[in-house]
Amino acid sequence: MSDPAKTRRHAERVRELVASLVREIKDPRLGMVTITDARITGDLREATVYYTVLGDPTEQAATKAALESAKGMLRSRVGHALGLRHSPSLTFVLDNVQDHAKEIDELLAEARLRDQEVQRLAAGKQYAGDPDPYRSDDDEDEDDTERVGAREDQG
């Protein structure tokens, strides 16, 4: 097991290398791809590369096929650039950042609608109890004078 800082540096380097090498791939199936992240195991043998693709699911599938066919070339170039004894095997995973962001936006919009509905229902309503459930300064003065009077009676 290697040092975690060293592993992070290698993962960042893998991300940078794959991002630059993807531009050199001349496969027509390769769409508008962006390398978002890379993770590498502690033994530096396996790297997972996360990517996003602009377009519909057919373009995403075509890009995945293009990356899989170029995996050998990418692995050899990454291994040579890293200078490791063993070149890490590459696994490409589609990163659905746009889908997650869209889902979060929809949930936030739904929450805003619920908040507006609650405010609409609460408009013009009153609390069941007193408007001010806390003691005021006048109440404390009355309690103090009653206690003083009770002490004088005992004394």
DSSP state of 27: -
Determine the pLDDT at residue 127: 74
Band (pLDDT 50/70/90 cuts) for residue 40 is very high
Determine the pLDDT at residue 102: 87
**pLDDT greater at residue 132 or residue 141:** 132
Determine the pLDDT at residue 146: 63
Two tokens, residue 75: 């692995």
For residues 9-21, give the mean pLDDT. 91
Determine the pLDDT at residue 119: 87
Per-residue pLDDT tens over the stretch 42-81: 898 999 999 988 888 888 899 899 999 999 999 999 989 9
Residue 147 CB-density burial (10 A; 0-12 exposed, 13-18 middle, 19+ buried): exposed
Domain ranges of the chain: 4-95
For residues 74-103, give the mean pLDDT. 87
pLDDT at 134 over 90: no
CA dist., res. 131 & res. 134, Å (int) = 9
**pLDDT greater at residue 110 or residue 153:** 110
For residues 77-93, give the mean pLDDT. 89
pLDDT at 149 over 70: no
CA dist., res. 57 & res. 89, Å (int) = 26
Q: Which helix (H) or strand (E) holds 47?
A: strand 46-54
Query: What dotted CATH number matches 4-95?
Result: 3.30.300.20
